[in-house]
Structures are given as C-alpha cells and as structure tokens.
C-alpha cells in the first residue's frame, strides 16, 4: 500500500474523472463487448485484460472513495489498511477548501493489482467478510483472476507463446462487468440498508432527510444563539427567514428540468437538503471555536 501521493498527481487524476454515463467503466465495457464481438484480430486481444484492469481500478477507486466518505467508521477502517498516511501541505489545504475529499485521496492509496486486493479493501472498509458469498457463479472470480494475470503478462513480457482466444476475451469482458455490478450492489446494500425502491417511498425518504437536516440546522443555530456573546463578537444569526426563501428559490431553480414530473419532489427535497448542509458546514467552520464545545455537549 502507498502512504503518500503528490498533490499534482491527485489533482490530475481527479480532473480526468467525469461523471456522465458515457465516461463510466460500465459504458466502456459495454462498448468493448460490442467492438470485440466482431473483432478477429488476435494481436488486439491483449488490449482487453490491460484495459479491463484499468477500468476496474477506476471503478473501485470511486467505490472506495464513496465508502470512506460515507461514515467515520469506514474512515477508521481505512486506517487498518494504510498505516502512517502522509499528507503534503497542498493536500491538507484541499481538504480545508473542500476541493478534494479525504475519501478521494485515501482511495488512491489502495492497491488494485489482483482480486485479493479488492476483496481485502472492501472487506476491511466495510468490516465484513461476506464478499465472496455474493457470487453464485464462482467462474466470475476465476475470470477476474485471469484478467489480472494476463494483464501482468502483456504489460511486462513479450510472451509470444500466449495467445488469447476470442471466446476467452469475451468471457473476460462479461465477467468484469458482472463482477463490478455484484460488488457495487453488495456495497450499496450495506451503505443504504433501508433504501426505498418505489417512487413514492423515495420521495418520502428524501423529504424526511430534509426535515431531519433542517431540524439539525435550527438546533445548531439555537445553540449558537444561546452560547455566543453576540454583543462582544458582533454576530447576528437572525437570518433564517431570508435563508429559507433563498433555499426554496434556489432549489426550484436547480430542479426546473424536472418540473411537472413525478420525481420533481425528490430532487426538490434533495436540493434543499444539500443547501442546508452548505449553510451548516459554513457555520461550523466560522464558529468552530464554539462548535467544539457544541460537539462535546451533544
């Protein structure tokens, strides 16, 4: 495991990441399958394991990042994987400025050189060893092992006597895709065990999340009002009426494209939750001296 990555390398990596589906590992694997299904040039076949490893590495880096950023208990579990993590000053500054999350940085320190690396990372981060139980078809795991095996050979050796068959590379592609789907679902169910499936339930859950976050905000402001010397510090937190109007209008603006649709209420509530979190994070940073006392008393 690495202990340190240069800030420039971290930033360059993240700048190459796009969030649209056409830039995802899932989409590229789909295109690889369609392309190589018609390809009979055996000299191009070594490209498959090399590219599949790169796609899996990117996919799991994002998955690790989401896990680590999801809860403090997963960040503690990360410490079991990488000891004595080292941070350059620009990395620390990026955490402070919220341009890079700890999960994004930490995920780059985790190895992805073989199947066992992925198993160890996921199992340690989540604190569970049920990873392999998700695979009813164990041939998928065998194919993933082969992908890493052939990737190493074709990257580091001439290996003129190693010839991949057409059926083999297609099976590699299919297994890599299924492997990522199964692991992704496994992680999602652990991170979000009560995730609703029906549209009505999804909307209700989003509304509950907003109400809880709004209640948390009011509780924080009330505590600050009761514990901060306003006259001495020149602080005024009597702005909730203005903030609520801003929050509603901004959420409406952000969700315009969904107006009239059944899912509009979900995105509207989600947007208001995010805007509320922005204010809370700002208050916690600005009044961090008092917040330390708040955290120890709650």
Does 297 score more than 60 pLDDT?
Answer: no
Confidence at residue 225, expressed as pLDDT on a 0 to 100 scale: 84
More confident residue, 237 or 79: 79
Over range 140-150, report the average pLDDT.
Answer: 97
Confidence at residue 64, expressed as pLDDT on a 0 to 100 scale: 96
Does 243 score more than 60 pLDDT?
Answer: yes
Over range 64-71, report the average pLDDT.
Answer: 94
Does 259 score more than 80 pLDDT?
Answer: yes
- The per-residue pLDDT for range 68-109, each reduced to its tens digit, is 999 999 999 999 998 888 888 888 888 888 889 999 999 999
Over range 17-26, report the average pLDDT.
Answer: 83
Confidence at residue 34, expressed as pLDDT on a 0 to 100 scale: 96
Confidence at residue 115, expressed as pLDDT on a 0 to 100 scale: 96
Percent of all residues in the chain with a pLDDT value above 70, rounded to a whole number: 94
Does 182 score more than 60 pLDDT?
Answer: yes
Confidence at residue 95, expressed as pLDDT on a 0 to 100 scale: 84
Does 11 score more than 70 pLDDT?
Answer: yes
- What sign does the CA torsion over 134, 140, 142, 148 have? negative
- The per-residue pLDDT for range 260-278, each reduced to its tens digit, is 887 899 999 999 999 999 9
- The per-residue pLDDT for range 193-219, each reduced to its tens digit, is 765 666 788 889 889 999 999 999 999
The answer, as to whether pTM is greater than 0.85, is no
Over range 128-153, report the average pLDDT.
Answer: 94
More confident residue, 172 or 292: 172
Report residue 295's pLDDT band, with 50, 70 and 90 as the boundaries.
low
């Amino acid at each position: 495991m690495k202990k340190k990555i240069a800030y420039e390398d971290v930033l360059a990596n993240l700048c190459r990441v796009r969030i649209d589906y056409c830039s995802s590992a899932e989409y590229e694997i789909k295109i690889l399958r369609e392309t190589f299904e018609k390809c009979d040039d055996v000299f191009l076949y070594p490209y498959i394991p090399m590219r599949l490893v790169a796609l899996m590495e990117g996919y799991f880096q994002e998955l690790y990042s989401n896990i680590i950023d999801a809860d403090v208990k997963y960040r503690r579990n990360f410490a079991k994987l990488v000891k004595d993590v080292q941070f350059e000053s620009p990395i620390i500054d990026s955490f402070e400025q919220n341009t890079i999350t700890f999960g994004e940085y930490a995920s780059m320190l985790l190895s992805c050189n073989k199947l066992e690396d992925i198993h160890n990372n996921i199992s340690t981060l989540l604190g569970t060893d049920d990873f392999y139980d998700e695979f009813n078809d164990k041939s998928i795991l065998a194919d993933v092992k082969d992908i890493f095996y052939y990737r190493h050979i074709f990257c580091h050796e001439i290996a003129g006597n190693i010839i991949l068959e057409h059926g083999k590379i297609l099976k590699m592609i299919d297994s890599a895709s299924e492997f990522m789907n199964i692991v992704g679902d496994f992680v999602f169910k652990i991170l979000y065990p009560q995730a609703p499936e029906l549209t009505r339930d999804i909307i209700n859950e989003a509304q509950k999340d907003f109400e809880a976050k709004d209640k948390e905000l009011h509780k924080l402001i009330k505590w600050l009002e009761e514990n901060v010397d306003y006259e001495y510090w020149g602080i005024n937190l009597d702005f909730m009426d203005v903030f609520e109007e801003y929050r509603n209008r901004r959420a409406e603006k952000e969700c315009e494209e969904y107006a009239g649709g059944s899912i509009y209420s979900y995105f509207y509530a989600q947007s208001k939750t995010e805007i509320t979190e922005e204010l809370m994070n700002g208050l916690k940073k600005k009044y961090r001296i008092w917040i330390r006392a708040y955290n120890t008393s709650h």
